[in-house]
């Protein structure tokens, strides 16, 4: 007897999207991107992974615990969204490779992991700690943001990585647990955490750029003053 679509989903490989970031604070740009990717690529789950000590940028002013709590509030009620606080439990720099190794140990070798990164971040990918091992552990989902012409700016090592691993077939993400690179266009919302922090600092209203529950948390805890 033919399997129903639901049966195939149940028996198929789980696809888990991984969205790391400082989330200082989380906003609708992050949430819409995650929702759209989950829909388009049929991801079973998206894990939001706040970075405790990001190696590539200045340490956030806001504590990791507060940034985590804001993510928890923002994703409440979305059954596909999960808060993953493993980087807060590790000392030292929050390297993606360590996070992937720990996720693999937890989720096993049959889950397809899809690391979501902005195309702006991919331009610097070959400076990440043990970057060449990362595609052995996960797929890369590169999200095009406006005004970044990725292919023109890529260094040769990244150009060959892209050439070897690129696919435009979403189905290939479920065929293997790691190793593919996809480029996804999303309907970009021009929202940035930097601009939101500035709104709070200068007492302008940030409403409708991020969930009200997060606005209330920020005001209650007097963040971004
Ligand atoms: P900041 O302004 O402090 O740099 P940010 O929101 O750009 O904040 P992160 O919180 O670290 O930075 O972002 C996490 C991930 O979300 C990154 O991959 C980033 O490229 C992506 N991202 C951030 N804002 C948007 C947006 N408006 N649309 C799509 N992706 C976004």
pLDDT in tens, 31-50: 999 999 999 999 999 999 99
Residue 28 has pLDDT above 50, yes or no: yes
Q: Which of 74, 192, 209, 223 to mutate to test the pocket of ligand 1 (most atoms within 8 A of CB)?
A: 192
According to DSSP, residue 25 is labeled T
Q: Strand pairing partners for 100?
A: none
Nearest CA to ligand 1 atom 29: 29
Domain coordinates in residue numbering, the chain:
12-190
Distance CA 29, CA 108 (A): 31
Q: Which of 22, 70, 198 to mutate to test the pocket of ligand 1 (most atoms within 8 A of CB)?
A: 22
Q: Would you state the CATH architecture of domain 12-190?
A: 3-Layer(aba) Sandwich (3.40)
pLDDT digits (tens, 9 = 90+) for 137-182: 999 999 986 665 666 688 999 999 999 999 999 999 999 999 999 9
CA–centroid distance, 25 to ligand 1, in Å, is 10
Residue in the block written with tokens 């789950």: 45
CB atoms within 10 A of CB 186: 16
Determine whether the shortest distance from the Cβ of 209 to ligand 1 is under 6 A.
no
Nearest CA to ligand 1 atom 27: 29
pLDDT of 2 = 41
The mean predicted confidence, pLDDT, of the chain is: 90
């Amino acid at each position: 007897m033919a399997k129903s679509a639901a049966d195939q989903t149940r028996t198929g490989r789980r696809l888990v999207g991984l969205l790391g970031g400082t989330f200082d604070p989380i906003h609708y740009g992050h949430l819409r991107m995650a929702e759209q990717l989950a829909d388009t690529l049929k991801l079973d789950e998206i894990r939001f992974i706040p970075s405790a000590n990001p190696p590539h940028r200045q340490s956030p002013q806001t504590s990791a615990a507060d940034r985590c709590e804001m993510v928890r509030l923002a994703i409440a009620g979305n059954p596909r969204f999960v808060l993953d606080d493993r980087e807060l439990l590790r000392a030292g720099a929050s390297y993606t490779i360590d996070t992937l190794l720990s996720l693999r140990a937890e989720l096993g070798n049959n889950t397809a992991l899809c690391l979501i990164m902005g195309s702006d971040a991919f331009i610097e990918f070959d400076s990440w700690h043990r970057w060449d091992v990362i595609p052995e552990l996960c797929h890369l989902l590169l999200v095009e943001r406006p005004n970044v012409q990725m292919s023109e700016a890529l260094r040769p090592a990244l150009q060959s990585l892209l050439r070897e691993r690129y696919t435009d077939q979403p189905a290939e993400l479920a065929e293997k647990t790691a190793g593919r690179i996809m480029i996804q266009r999303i309907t970009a919302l021009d929202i940035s955490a930097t601009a939101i922090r500035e709104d709070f600092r200068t007492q302008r209203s940030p409403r409708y750029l991020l969930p009200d529950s997060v606005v209330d948390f920020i005001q209650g805890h007097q963040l971004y003053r």
